[in-house]
Amino acid sequence: MKPNNLENFWMPFTSNRDFKQDPRMIVSAEGMYYTSNEGKKIMDATAGLWCVNAGHKHPKIVEAVTKAVQTLDYAPNFHFGHPEVFELSNRLAMQFPKNINHFFFTNSGSEAVDSALKIALAYQRTRGKATKTRLIGRERGYHGVGFGGISVGGMTKNRMYFGSLLTGVDHIRHTHDPVKNPYSRGEVEHGCELADDLERMVALHDASTIAAVIVEPFAGSTGVLPPPKGYLKRLRALCDKHDILLIFDEVITAFGRLGTMTAAEYFEVEPDMITIAKGLTSGVVPMGGVAVKDDIYQSMMDNADGPIELFHGYTYTGHPLATAAALGALDAYEDDEMFKNAADLTEYIADAAHALKGEKHVTDIRSIGLVAAIELDSRDGAAGARAYDVLKASWDKGLMVRISGDILAFSPPLMVNKAEIDQMFEITAEVLRAVD
């Protein structure tokens, strides 16, 4: 077998056959840029996969991880611990909503979601509400690729190949209405009443059977769908009314994507749990987590039926290298004022994206925080093909974009500047004009 044989690696969420005919190889990265194996600079307009919020190879994170691997390569967190994971929890508690002060760490966003769902079920049982076992997701939602996540998720392709999934799961309607909310900036004007679809779930299943509702504050992977004004507050009120936990999946939105530590802060809505990953370590070492409200944690402590309060965890929970990367990322965000930079550039990236209205193939544009999406008209019988051609042509011009179907998503590192934003949308405009 040749050393450069590409067949042995089964690539995720990728057209393997197409890629291996014409690979796009990355060999290094720094700041806003990747470098290809041909020595070409590629602007990272997507922060990797929504995760490299501090930019590539940030010195504070590199230093923290280097020191950690030289000091403590691994420590179990079953019945033992290491100081840094407690320090990380303390620092996060200071920056998350005031009643959310407990953190359970995982290795990814997918694991964070499955952990949050399990915590919700365990909590309901320990407080004497064992009939509350049903989980409610949302159409077009993305909550990772574990069986729990794809069950509560609502993206068709992620679900259709994998059987009946978890039982006891249902979905409320998504909020996307391009007719009423075309070319939107920030929260959309219409659709707050769609939160009331939870009442339909209650009428169908009864509140006594529903443990939790999980939503993304804005839906990211499905194509950047900002929530309607008042929607999340309405959903919070309905969950309170029916004694249902509200989980925010903030794997994408936490750590500055909206210019704040969390989307909960941005939208002024306090959920019961928040799932995190991606920007937690700026993508340097895999790590995720569940941020849990005080009363949930305390109930689990007070009502435990044995010394161990939660029979759940991972070999790599709170891994020393991941913990070091997270602490380094928090330092980078704070010292370089990255959240402020993201907030300051919200209107600028919106202006740059919306300037493409009227370009060839463009049917809608949406923006919120340091995020923008450009939706393209699909080719007959070939949904997603046009955006895929845009992705490849953009790479050739030195730009990495993210696609979901025929939607282009832009979520650059938080240290991006105005000139770089201009460049990414200038290249996008050129590509759109050239692609059929």
* pLDDT, tens digit (0-9, with 9 covering 90-100), for 319-359: 999 999 999 999 999 999 999 999 999 999 999 999 999 99
Q: What is the pLDDT of residues 229-248, one digit of tens each?
A: 999 999 999 999 999 999 99
Give the pLDDT of residue 284. 98
The 3-state DSSP class for residue 115 equals helix
Asked whether residue 2 carries a pLDDT value surpassing 50, the answer given is no
Give the pLDDT of residue 219. 96
Q: What is the pairing mode between strands 288-293 and 273-276?
A: antiparallel
Give the pLDDT of residue 86. 98
Q: What is the pLDDT of residues 99-124, one digit of tens each?
A: 999 999 999 999 999 999 999 999 99
Residue 414 CA to residue 323 CA, distance in Å, equals 21
0.85 cut: is pTM over it?
Answer: yes
Residue 69 CA to residue 74 CA, distance in Å, equals 8
Provide the mean pLDDT of the chain: 97
Give the pLDDT of residue 270. 98
CB 290 within 8 A of CB 311: no
In percent, how much of the chain has pLDDT > 70?
A: 99
Residue 390 CA to residue 396 CA, distance in Å, equals 10
Angular region, 384: left φ>0, alpha ψ -120 to 50, beta rest: left
Q: Write the single-letter amino acid at 336.
A: D
Q: What is the pLDDT of residues 255-310, one digit of tens each?
A: 999 999 999 999 999 999 999 999 999 999 999 999 999 999 999 999 999 999 99
Asked whether residue 61 carries a pLDDT value surpassing 70, the answer given is yes
Residue 88 CA to residue 361 CA, distance in Å, equals 46
Q: Structural domains in the chain? A: 16-54+339-434 (3.90.1150.10), 62-335 (3.40.640.10)
Asked whether residue 1 carries a pLDDT value surpassing 90, the answer given is no
The torsion defined by the Cα of 406, 411, 417 and 421, in degrees rounded to 10, comes to 0
Q: What is the pLDDT of residues 308-326, one digit of tens each?
A: 999 999 999 999 999 999 9
Give the pLDDT of residue 101. 98
Give the pLDDT of residue 239. 98
Give the pLDDT of residue 209. 98
Give the pLDDT of residue 4. 66
Asked whether residue 3 carries a pLDDT value surpassing 90, the answer given is no
Give the pLDDT of residue 250. 98
Residue 209 CA to residue 291 CA, distance in Å, equals 24
Asked whether residue 25 carries a pLDDT value surpassing 80, the answer given is yes
Residue 171 CA to residue 331 CA, distance in Å, equals 39
The sheet that has 100-106: what strands, in order across it? 100-106, 288-293, 273-276, 245-249, 210-215, 134-138, 169-172
Give the pLDDT of residue 405. 96
Give the pLDDT of residue 197. 98
- Classify each residue of 16-31 as buried b or exposed e, where b means 16 or more C-beta atoms within 10 Å of its C-beta: eeeeeeeeeeeeebeb
The sheet that has 33-36: what strands, in order across it? 26-30, 33-36, 41-44, 399-400
Residue 259 CA to residue 248 CA, distance in Å, equals 17
Residue 279 CA to residue 299 CA, distance in Å, equals 29
Instruction: Give CA separation, 226 vs 50, 175, 372, in Å.
Output: 16, 8, 10
Q: Write the single-letter amino acid at 389.
A: D
CB 213 within 8 A of CB 247: yes
